[in-house]
């Protein structure tokens, strides 16, 4: 955005108001998207933090409706984060199509945050908004610009389709470089992992009775495997009929310790976890009891770690804004 503002300043300084009138809309749209992505990041973090509550209740918790509905509303409007579409699918499976449709279509009491709707709106900015931003750029770059003349021109009907012109190649490249960096890799990673875990957990809850109480949760496997432990009733929970630890729990415990020390973006932690769970699968030893067999759990966890590695590498790369 800094580069876009600099280019706008140059256009204004050289009297190219006509081009500036178009470019400023691109900048406003980008600023709105940045604000929207920041809101979505907060909602994703809230959903991840309250995931045990979401899993334990059939209906959407009232205090989480805004976060969940807003993420659903944003999913088709934020194509730079395709993982949001996966999350929407999982919420569809849990809450039904009616809940999802209400959020997507902004029906009464849908719960979608007004600010998210505003920031993701495709409505063209008005004259005052554009003029205000250009005035700020004028002041920031210490240039001379006739804002009154600009507002007079803007108030006239457009003579062509310039206002519908798509961003120039350079602007599109900047948008692609900027938007994915708004949501922190950790937040995206949390949403992705949530998607995989929610999918297998939900399928098991719907198809088989969970013999272990949902309050009896694996305490030591508290970032990844806890979702399996909660549904499958194994591991460190001490639930009746369980052994203290199985081999997949051990892999999970090692992974939790590793990311706890080195962070969720550490690729080596994820690769070590993949090797560990595949070794368990190859050994043929039972994992996650009969409700969540190892041949179901391991491939799903493996896919989750592949995504984790990809986004860890993305997070560790240096992005220039």
Q: Which of 90, 141, 255, 270 is catalytic?
A: 255
Backbone angles phi, psi at 286, to 5 degrees: -70, 145
Per-position DSSP letters for 106-138, written without gaps between them: T-TT----HHHHHHT--PPP-HHHHHHHHHHHH
Radius of gyration of the chain measured on its C-alpha atoms: 24
Residue 255 is among the residues annotated as catalytic for this protein: yes
Q: State the maximum Cα–Cα separation within the chain, in Å, rounded to a whole number.
A: 80
Distance CA 131, CA 129 (A): 6
Other Cβ atoms less than 10 A from the Cβ of 93: the count is 15
Distance CA 129, CA 133 (A): 6
> Which two tokens mark 243?
């052994």
End-to-end C-alpha distance for the chain, whole angstroms: 7
CA distances from 17 to 124, 158, 320 (A): 18, 14, 28
Q: Could you give the residue numbers annotated as active site?
A: 255
């Amino acid at each position: 955005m800094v580069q876009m503002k600099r280019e706008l300043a140059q256009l204004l300084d050289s009297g190219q108001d006509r081009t500036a009138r178009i470019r400023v809309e691109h900048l406003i749209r980008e600023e709105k998207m940045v604000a929207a992505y920041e809101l979505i990041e907060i909602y994703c973090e809230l959903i991840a933090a309250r995931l045990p509550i979401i899993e334990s209740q059939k209906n959407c918790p009232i205090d989480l409706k805004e976060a969940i509905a807003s993420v659903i509303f944003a999913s088709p409007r934020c194509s730079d984060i395709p993982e949001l579409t996966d999350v929407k699918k999982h919420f569809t499976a849990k809450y039904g199509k009616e809940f999802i449709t209400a959020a997507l279509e902004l029906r009464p009491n849908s719960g979608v945050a007004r600010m998210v709707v505003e920031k993701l709106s495709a409505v063209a900015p008005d004259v005052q908004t554009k003029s205000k931003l250009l005035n700020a750029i004028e002041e920031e770059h210490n240039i001379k610009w006739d804002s009154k003349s600009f507002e007079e021109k803007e108030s006239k009907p457009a003579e062509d389709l310039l206002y519908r012109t798509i961003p120039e190649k350079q602007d599109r490249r900047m948008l692609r470089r900027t938007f994915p960096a708004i949501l922190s890799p950790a937040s995206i990673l949390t949403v992705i992992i949530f998607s995989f875990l929610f999918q297998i957990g939900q399928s098991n809850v719907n198809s088989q009775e969970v013999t272990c109480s949902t309050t009896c949760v694996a305490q030591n496997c508290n970032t990844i495997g806890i979702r399996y432990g909660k549904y499958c009733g194994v591991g460190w929970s001490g639930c009746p009929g369980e052994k203290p630890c199985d081999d997949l729990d051990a892999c999970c415990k090692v992974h939790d310790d590793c990311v706890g020390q080195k962070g969720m973006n550490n690729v080596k932690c994820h690769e070590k976890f993949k090797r560990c769970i595949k070794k368990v699968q190859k050994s043929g030893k039972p994992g996650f009891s009969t409700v969540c067999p190892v041949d179901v759990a391991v491939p799903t966890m493996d896919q989750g770690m592949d995504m984790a590695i990809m986004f860890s590498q993305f997070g560790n790369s240096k992005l220039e804004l």
